[in-house]
Amino acid sequence: MALATPAGAFELSWPAECTLGETCHIQQYFDHDASPAATDFTCGTLSYDGHDGTDIALISRAEMSEGIAVLSAAPGVVKGTRDGVQDFVPFTKGKECGNGVVIDHADGWQTQYCHMRRGSVLVRPGDTVATGAKLGLVGQSGMADFPHVHLTVRHNGTKIDPFEPEPTAACATTPGPDLWAAPVPYEPGGFFAAGFTAAVPTFVEIRAGLPTHPLPANAPGLVLWAYVFGGRAGDELQFSITGPQGNLLKTSATLEKTQAQLFRANGKRRVDPAWPAGLYQGTITLMRAGTKIDQIASEVQITP
């Protein structure tokens, strides 16, 4: 019997107060590979062994600190909650979900929301919630390496991929019926953020939410960095910088391994007494097997 029907027997709304592809991205999908390897519903690499849900990741910890709401994906009754687990620290065994909420829906359906921000959970067991009700805030508690909400969907106790509720042996190159009330596009990888700095930044700085500030004309370097998710071995990152005097940099870097998150940077050292003052623009393009996957741009002002 079909789990999802054209009439929408059970539908999910987007469970976070963010815009997919702009202020958040799906970092990991449900793992469909029974072996120690991992594949998402398209047979892509955006999953890991045994991953039983959908990870909606924020751009940075700075965005998390602003307060991004976790929303109920469907109407139901709160079955259980946990709060008080600290963010950004190693998880305690048995508390991999961190702070979270479980909601019972009709006909055996259940959703669970994990890694919420400490002290943010707004509901209690027994509460009735509507679709879109605020449950708390996206955090990084429990088994979480980055700020995100992990959504698990169950039907009669069985974990279900909302993108492919009835898995087949074939890859979902042509998407079939899913559980989403509105279309949720698949992102095979792309960019979280990009910016300019005077020297190569650290990954810690980038993940925290590294801003681009105007640079002085005597800055030691002009570095364009990119924060990438879903990178695959063989992907090419193309860097381009232009300034007041035209093209300054055009180069590329090939990724040597598949990584869930990474950053790369390219730039120029200052060789003249000063950089020409004005606006500098940078573009980074992610190419995969000759196809453009994503592109991001940034700009910086160099002041006299």
Give me the domain span that covers residue 145: 24-160
Q: Which residues of the chain have pLDDT under 70?
A: 1-8, 168-170, 172-175
Q: Is residue 64 part of a domain?
A: yes
Q: Tell me, yes or no, whether 150 and 213 share the same domain.
A: no
Q: Is residue 112 part of a domain?
A: yes
Nearest CA to 26 among 50, 48, 47, 51? 47
Q: Is residue 33 part of a domain?
A: yes
Nearest CA to 46 among 289, 260, 233? 260
- What b/e sequence results for 255-293 when a residue is b if at least 16 CB atoms lie within 10 Å of its CB, and e otherwise? beeebbbbbbbbbeeeeeeebeeeebebbbbbbbeeeeb
Q: Tell me, yes or no, whether 202 and 258 share the same domain.
A: yes
Q: Which of 160, 175, 205 is the last residue of a domain?
A: 160
Count the domains in the chain. Answer: 2
Q: Tell me, yes or no, whether 210 and 263 share the same domain.
A: yes
Provide the CB-side half-sphere exposure for 246 (13 A, CA). 0
Q: Tell me, yes or no, whether 30 and 149 share the same domain.
A: yes
Q: Tell me, yes or no, whether 107 and 206 share the same domain.
A: no
Q: Is residue 14 part of a domain?
A: no
Q: Is residue 113 part of a domain?
A: yes
Strands 148-155 and 158-160: antiparallel
| Cα 231 from Cα 244, distance rounded (Å) | 32
Q: Which of 138, 160, 182 is the last residue of a domain?
A: 160
Q: Is residue 16 part of a domain?
A: no
The pTM assigned to this predicted structure is 0.92
Whether 190 contacts 286, CB under 8 Å? yes
Q: Tell me, yes or no, whether 33 and 153 share the same domain.
A: yes
Q: Tell me, yes or no, whether 33 and 148 share the same domain.
A: yes
pLDDT digits (tens, 9 = 90+) for 245-302: 999 999 999 999 999 999 999 999 999 999 999 999 999 999 999 999 999 999 999 9
Tell me the CATH number at 199. 2.60.40.10
At 177 the pLDDT is 87
pLDDT digits (tens, 9 = 90+) for 204-224: 999 999 999 999 999 999 999
Q: Is residue 169 part of a domain?
A: no
Q: Tell me, yes or no, whether 252 and 156 share the same domain.
A: no
At 6 the pLDDT is 38
Strands 69-71 and 215-216: unpaired
Q: CB neighbours (10 Å) of residue 216?
A: 13
At 5 the pLDDT is 44
Q: Tell me, yes or no, whether 195 and 92 share the same domain.
A: no
Q: Tell me, yes or no, whether 33 and 124 share the same domain.
A: yes
Q: Tell me, yes or no, whether 136 and 230 share the same domain.
A: no
Tell me the CATH number at 29. 2.70.70.10
At 166 the pLDDT is 85
Whether 17 contacts 113, CB under 8 Å? no
